[in-house]
Structure 1
Amino acid sequence: MSTTAPERRSPFSRGRKDDGPRASFRQLLPYLFEHKKILGVVIALSVVGAAASLAQPLLVSQVITVVQKGSPLGMLVWALVGLVVASGLLSGFQHYLLQRTGTSVVLSARRQLVRRMLRLPISEFDVRRTGDLVSRVGSDTTLLYAVITQGLIDAIGGSLVLIGALVAMAIIDPVLLGLTLLVVAVAVITVVGLSGRVRVASRKQQEKVGDLAAAVERSLSAVRTVRASNATEREIAAVEKDAEGAWRMGIQVAKISALVVPVASVALQVSLLVVLGVGGFRVASGAITIASLISFVLFLFMMIGPLGTAFGAINSVNQALGALGRIQEIISLPSETDGDAAIVPVAAIETDAAISFEDVAFTYPAEAVALHDGEEPRDLTVLHGISFAAERGKRTALVGPSGAGKSTILALIERFYDPTAGVVRLGGIDIRGLDRTDLRSQIGYVEQDAPVLAGSIRQNLLLGSPDATDEACIAVLKAVNLTEVLERNALGLDAAVGEDGVMLSGGERQRLAIARTLLAAPPILLLDESTSSLDGLNEQMLREAIDAVAENRTLIVIAHRLSTVVDSDQIVVLDHGKVVGVGTHSELVASTPLYRDLAKHQLLV
């Protein structure tokens, strides 16, 4: 932008605490309830599976008793085999449903994130790094998958097994059960104490992954500049530093998780030793039978299994809640339009102007302003009482030194930002009272360094005109002298332009961006230094194309070249966010020293 644009800063520079906002389990529930039908089936299968599992020790006890009596086993063995096979089949089907549901939960989270991200106010992108936002869509949402597939639903079914096992163990021998529960209580207290640390460490790990993604995106997007500057090794070192930061936090999560994982195993071993020791004594004393002791041990294994699953679920849920906090941080941000209902537009007026500014001021908030070491956060005002009118069907040029506020004016017309004070009008109507979609449908905007999207020429052209025909696409490419691009590739409109349009030259990228806007043929065109990357011949051809489509349309043009300015119906001269002159070229040469100086140097500023 030609105004004093704020540099991008980390969103974490906004004074957030080190552990950041935390998500609660309640915030996780909507993602689960979205798939409640499938989860209901899974839970039902868990109940059936739990019943099949609980029946097995009882059958084993009966088999032992029958064998001790010397009676024939009959159908007992087949019933036991049937239960084992049924449990395996139910487990396999349940596993498939869990995997499918986990994938669906991730999809839901990604949809919400992408929908919110692409609707965020432009000011949010001024202070947030692209790589970190991408990381939230990628790695953060993936952790939600673990909630479903690594224990949460299994823990629900397992709790039934746990309760059933406890009831059976209480019936068999309350004394052994009491000793077992004492060991288990110590394990539970240990896991609960560690779970909070897992959540905090997991969030910090995801933040470090976001830092890494932002560093990689930064380096790859400027890889040619990095190579040309012999800065490859320095960039590698910088990215590796972020990678090591993510690794260190991963190790921290692993250390805490490593304390959780063996708790169930230790609890099982200690419980088993206690049961075998005390249980053997009780068998010898005649308090219980050997069949009862074996059944108790089998139920003990059944109880510890779900307990281990529950511990794993606590671990995975806390990791997911750490990531969910970062997801919810974005989802909870207001969208671009959320505050529109509270705006009271200024009353409409009668005017012939297509666009008019009335005493408009604009200030970037402190969090969007880059600071030097030791500087206190401060707001940055870039427009001061701007007033001018762009007549309908006429061409208005904005000129001035770098940082004068030219691009900010176009951003206000597009409602990327709203003015801090004053009014911007479209046909006499305060644009804050217009639907943003309707407003932007009337405006074609070619920004400075207009991006070319990865994909084909056709996809770039159809971005704003999805129903345009091939003939219209070819005609607009011809108008901006891009037919050569079609001719050099047999794919024509389907030819790939590469990441960020790398297959095109700088001038071709800019002309393609202009063609994309011209194809939509809106009544108002905003061109931000649209000819700055063109040579003399292509600039002349593009000017002719713009002249052709500009007939009966309103143009507001930011230009660095005198040749683009002199034919304008009106020129607005800006300096330090203020209007210092308005008029034609000849009028301003005579009346405005700044313009006279700019014209003397061909406006190359």
Structure 2
Amino acid sequence: MSRMYGGPGGMGFNKMKFDDGTKPEITKEMLRRISAYFIPYWRQTAVVLVILLISSGLGVLPSIFIQHIVDDALPNKDMRLLLELVLISLAATVASGLIGVLQSYLNSYISQNIVYDMKNQMYRHLQKMPMQFYSNVKQGEVITRMTSDIAGIQGVFNSTVVNFASNLFILATTLGTLFVMNWKLAILGMCVVPLFLVPTRKMGRVRWNIAKQTQEKMSEQNHIIQETLSISGYLLMKLFTKEQKEFEGFQAVNAESTRLQIRESMAGRWFMMLLTTFTTIGPMLIYLYGGYLYIQGEITVGAIISFVALLGRVYGPFGQMTNLYVEINRSIALFERIFDYFDMEPVIVNKPEARDIDLAGADIVYEDVSFTYQKDKQALRHISFRAATGTMTALVGPSGAGKTTITNLLPRLYERQSGAIRIGGTDIRDMTLESLRSQIGLVTQDSYLFNGTIRENLMYANDEATEEEMIAACEAAYIHEFIMELPEGYDTVVGNRGMKLSGGEKQRIAIARVLLKDPAIIVMDEATSSLDTVSEYYIQKAMSLLLQNKTSIVIAHRLSTIMAADQILVVQDGTIVEEGRHEELLQLNGVYKDLHEKQFERHLLTDKEKWL
């Protein structure tokens, strides 16, 4: 049964059997879900099974023809018969190879398309997950599920379905041929099978455990690489001169991974030596007992040679069949990890009766809103206020007070636990998510830019905008002249997260992007707090145009930027403790005045330090 995403208090993950080293549970429900991915390709799968059956039948022909070559063509010196038998054997081998090519194509077609379908499904599903999911998930976890786990499914078809069917058909055709040729020798040959079935099963378990440990170390390697060689991690490593320490940590993990890989390889070598020894016993027994039967006149030399050749086609599939459970467990474990994500149902979804709403000229009303990230800590408590249309509402207060959380509830990036948020008298839960979010523009302190061109980043807001509209938005954001001074203008690549631009330049591009979107509601989340005076000046000018005739909620770190706000809400410990205009709040001699005086004193100290 699917479960709801684990709420604000947690990720909602189940402890995977795969993670603690035990076998994943194989249930009818699990098999039903897995088979659902194969059903669209049942025709191709059926063709593969027919090909496997034909190929297994062709595989026994050369060994049968060897008997006739030795018993008939060579003793009778019949060159014509010898040539015919050789050509037929060759034709059977070529035919088997040709249909094997078709089988390989179909295998690849089926597995690749299943991966394609699953990646599309996963990406679409992850798009619907709430912000809380991405706030709590481990770094690289989503990418691992999207790439490594789903890519591992590609081998499921080949390593389980195809291998099982292929080995089953080979065993059926070969054993049938052996018993038809001589049932006594066939039984003698099968007596050797238990000798290598037990070590094969045990070695499969040993190699699986070693492979699991190796995979864990590879994950540690990837984690170190991702953290220390990303832009932010690399910069931190350089600034704190931790290159040697990080190298030593990577070297240790890499050494352990290498040791495990060598161990796995050598375990396989010892196993192959034992297997080769055991599989040699069978032919020796056939030669011994077959020689006795030949002396007694019950069998021919060609039959003995043919029998030994066919026996090799039995031992291999038997070994693979006993080891198949390892592959099945591995496949089930991968599917469990993937289904663990699919079973996290998004809590922020459209109601069946949700409708598109025009938010232009609408008031924003918070009524007794409370929100909790974790069960033991309430982030917001009984938040109530009205942001009238065309006005600016400012949120101020210490870090961690809940200001950003208040604004994140408006576009339903998080879902409130109680209370109501209405725009124009309509609860935001009664609006479609697309219509709600498409009419809200958000500019944050650290505006995100894709590693593409300036044009691509701007047009992300409105891919139908004209060149003139794009330039007009950049002119309004006071960034057009800067862009035109770049060698490639609007086609300049900004780098990962916009690293080739300064903070002020990124912010102005972000403001231009929101201007191009032209939303009814604007949310500014400390958009100027970390900028220099010149950048702040231009952004303030851009903001004045951006907020004109818009309903806006502005989170301010610098109180000077919101002194002219229509109302200021002072947030502390998740609740509104003061509200009013700038002058009114100063007269209260409360939290706002204290914040104002501390900022004023800091500016005076900063100015004084410049002269010392």
Same fold, judged at TM 0.5 (above): yes
The 2-side partners of 1:444 and 1:252 are apart by 56
Name the counterpart of 1:492.
489
The 8 Å contact of residues 161 and 302 in structure 1, kept in 2 or not, is answered as: yes
Map of 1:139-150 to 2, 5 A cutoff?
Answer: 139-149=148-158
Equivalent residue number for residue 78 of structure 1: 87
Distance in 2, matches of 1:594 and 1:297, equals 93
- Measured at CA, do residues 491 and 424 of structure 1 come closer, stay the same or move farther in structure 2, by a change above 3 Å? same
**Residue 342 of structure 2: aligned partner:** 331
Letter in 2 for 1:552: N
Asked whether 1:62 is paired with 2:68, we answer yes
Of the candidates 566, 578, 595, which is equivalent to residue 598 of structure 1? 595
| Inter-CA distance 265–388: structure 2 relative to 1 (3 Å threshold) | farther
Structure 1 444/239 Cα, relative in aligned 2: closer, same or farther at 3 Å? farther
Q: Are 2:503 and 1:502 equivalent residues in the alignment?
A: no
CA drift of 1:227 comes to 0.8
Q: Equivalent residue for 2:244?
A: 233
Match of 1:535 among 532, 536, 539: 532
1:547 aligns with 544
Distance (Å, rounded) in 1 between the aligned partners of 2:529 and 2:218:
38
Go from structure 1 to structure 2 and tell me whether the alpha carbon gap of 1:159 and 1:553 turns closer, same or farther (over 3 Å shift). same
User: Is 2:142 aligned against 1:133?
Assistant: yes
Alpha-carbon deviation of 1:200? 6.3
User: Aligned partner of 1:29: which letter?
Assistant: S
- Give the secondary-structure state (helix, strand or coil) at the position aligned to 1:396: strand
- Aligned-partner Cα distance in 2 for 1:291–1:262: 29
- The one-letter amino acid paired with 1:518 is L
Would you say the 8 A contact 2:13–2:340 is kept in 1? no
User: Any idea what the Cα deviations from partners look like across 1:89-148, whole Å, max 9, x if unmatched?
Assistant: 222332343344443333333333323233222111122123222222222233223334
Q: Deviations over 1:280-328 (max 9, x none)?
A: 2332233322222222112212223434554675554444443333222
Distance 1:117 1:392 in 2: 34
Contact 1:481/1:538 (<8 A) preserved: no
| Aligned match for 1:354, one of 346, 363, 375 | 363
* Structure 2 CA distance for partners of 1:259 and 1:569, relative to 1, 3 Å: farther
User: What is the aligned partner in structure 1 of residue 4 from structure 2?
Assistant: none
Counterpart in 2 of 1:280? Answer: 291
How far is 1:251 from its partner?
6.2
Secondary structure (helix, strand or coil) at the match of 2:398 reads coil
Q: Contact conserved, 1:151 with 1:310, CA < 8 A, in 2?
A: no
Partners in 2 of 1:455 and 1:12 — Cα distance? Answer: 35
2:115 pairs with 1:109: no
1:478-504, Cα deviation, whole Å (9 max, x unpaired): 222222442233322221011111111
Report the counterpart of residue 19 of structure 1 in structure 2: 20
Choose which of 68, 80, 100 in structure 2 pairs with 1:91: 100
* Equivalent in 413, 417, 424 of residue 414 of structure 2: 417
SS at match of 2:363: strand
Cα distance change, pair 577–247 in 1 and its aligned pair in 2 (3 A): farther
Partner of 2:512: 515
Distance (Å, rounded) in 1 between the aligned partners of 2:559 and 2:119: 48
Shift of 1:249: 6.3
How much identity, in percent, do the aligned residues show?
29
| Runs of 5+ consecutive residues of structure 1 not aligned to the other structure | 1-7, 367-378
Question: Does the aligned pair in 2 maintain the 1:261–1:312 contact within 8 Å?
Answer: no
Say which is worse superposed, 583-592 or 484-493, in terms of deviation. Answer: 484-493
The 1:201–1:163 alpha-carbon spacing in structure 2 relative to 1, beyond 3 Å, is same
Residues 192 and 282 in structure 2, CA contact (< 8 A), matched pair in contact too? yes
1:47 aligns with 2:44: no
Candidates 572, 585, 600, aligned match of 2:569? 572
Q: Residue 46 and residue 60 in structure 1: after superposition, are their counterparts in 2 closer, same or farther (change >3 A)? A: same
Once the two structures are TM-superposed, the CA of residue 560 in structure 1 deviates from its matched residue by 1.1
What does 1:190-269 correspond to in 2, within 5 Å?
190-192=199-201, 205-219=214-228, 220-222=230-232, 223-240=234-251, 243=254, 265-269=276-280
Distance change >3 Å, CA 260–CA 389, structure 1 → 2: farther
Greater shift in the superposed pair: 276-285 or 220-229: 276-285
1:39 to 1:592, Cα distance in 2 relative to 1, 3 A? farther
Choose which of 305, 308, 311 in structure 2 pairs with 1:300.
Answer: 311
Match of 1:291 in 2: 302
CA shift, 1:519, in A, is: 1.4
The answer on 1:472 being equivalent to 2:469 is yes
The answer (yes or no) to whether the contact 2:201–2:323 under 8 Å persists in 1 is no
Change (3 A) 1:263 1:121: farther
CA distance in 2, matches of 1:303, 1:560: 76
Any conservation in 1 of the 2:205–2:326 contact (CA below 8 Å)?
no
1:174-223 CA deviation, whole Å, 9 max, x = no partner? 22222332332454454455656666665665455444433322222421
Q: Cα 1:431–1:157, aligned 2, differ >3 Å: closer, same or farther? A: same
After superposition, what is the alpha-carbon deviation per residue over 1:392-417, rounded to whole angstroms, capped at 9, x for unaligned? 11110000011110001111112121
Partner of 1:162: 171
SS in 1 for 2:101: helix
Contact 1:399 1:572 in 2 (8 A): yes
Give the letter for the 2:550 counterpart. R
What SS does structure 2 have at the residue aligned with 1:35? Answer: helix
| Counterpart residue number, 1:370 | none
What are the superposed Cα offsets for residues 237-265 of structure 1, whole Å, 9 maximum, x if unpaired?
Answer: 44445555655665676677667766764
Aligned pair in 2 of structure 1 residues 472, 214: CA closer, same or farther (>3 Å)? farther
1:492 and 1:188 map into 2 onto residues whose CA distance is: 69
AA matched with 2:586: V
Q: What's the offset of the Cα at 1:9?
A: 13
Find out whether 1:179 has 2:188 as its counterpart: yes
| CA-atom RMSD in angstroms | 3.4
Q: Distance between the aligned counterparts of 1:503 and 1:300, measured in 2? A: 67
Distance 1:83 1:521, change over 3 A: same
Aligned residues of 2:204 and 2:323 also touching (Cα < 8 A): no
The equivalent residue for 1:374 is: none
Change (3 A) 1:544 1:46: same
Distance 1:324 1:262, change over 3 A: farther
CA contact (8 A) 2:392 2:566 kept: yes
In 1: Cα distance, 2:12 partner to 2:275 partner: 38
Check 1:553–1:239 CA distance in 2 against 1; reply closer, same or farther (3 A cut).
farther
Given the superposition, is the C-alpha separation of residues 453 and 232 from structure 1 closer, same or farther in structure 2, using an over 3 Å criterion?
Answer: same
Cα offset for 1:463? 2.1
Change (3 A) 1:244 1:106: farther
- Aligned partners of 1:326, 1:42: CA distance in 2, in Å? 28
Q: Gaps spanning 5+ residues in structure 2: where? A: 1-7, 604-612
* Contact 1:10/1:128, CA 8 A, preserved across alignment: no
Distance 1:95 1:279 in 2: 38
Q: 1:534 to 1:332 in 2, by over 3 A?
A: same
Q: Secondary structure at the residue paired with 1:551?
A: coil
In the alignment, the residues of structure 2 paired with residue 417 and residue 457 of structure 1 have an alpha-carbon distance, to the nearest angstrom, of 30
From the superposition, tell whether residues 421 and 540 of structure 1 become closer, same or farther in structure 2 (CA, over 3 Å). Answer: same
**Distance in 1 separating the partners of 2:161 and 2:273:** 18
- For residues 421 and 521 of structure 2, the distance between their equivalents in structure 1, rounded to whole angstroms, comes to 15
- Out of 453, 458, 463, the residue aligned to residue 461 of structure 1 is 458
Cα shift readout 1:430-469 (whole Å, capped 9, x = no counterpart): 2223222221112112233222111111221122322222
Query: Deviation of residue 49 (structure 1)?
Result: 1.6
1:135–1:209 CA contact under 8 A, matched in 2: no
Equivalent residue letter for 2:382: G
**Preserved contact between residue 264 and residue 308 of structure 1 (Cα < 8 Å):** no
Pair 1:67–1:140, CA change in 2 (3 A) = same
Residues 205 and 142 of structure 1: CA distance in aligned 2, closer, same or farther (over 3 Å): farther
Counterpart of 1:43, as a letter, is L
Q: Give the superposition deviation at 1:595.
A: 0.5
Counterparts of 1:63 and 1:270 in 2: how far apart (Å)?
Answer: 26
Q: Aligned ranges for residues 114-125 of structure 1 at < 5 Å?
A: 114-125=123-134
Indicate which of 436, 441, 448 corresponds to 2:438: 441
Q: 1:452 corresponds to which residue?
A: 449
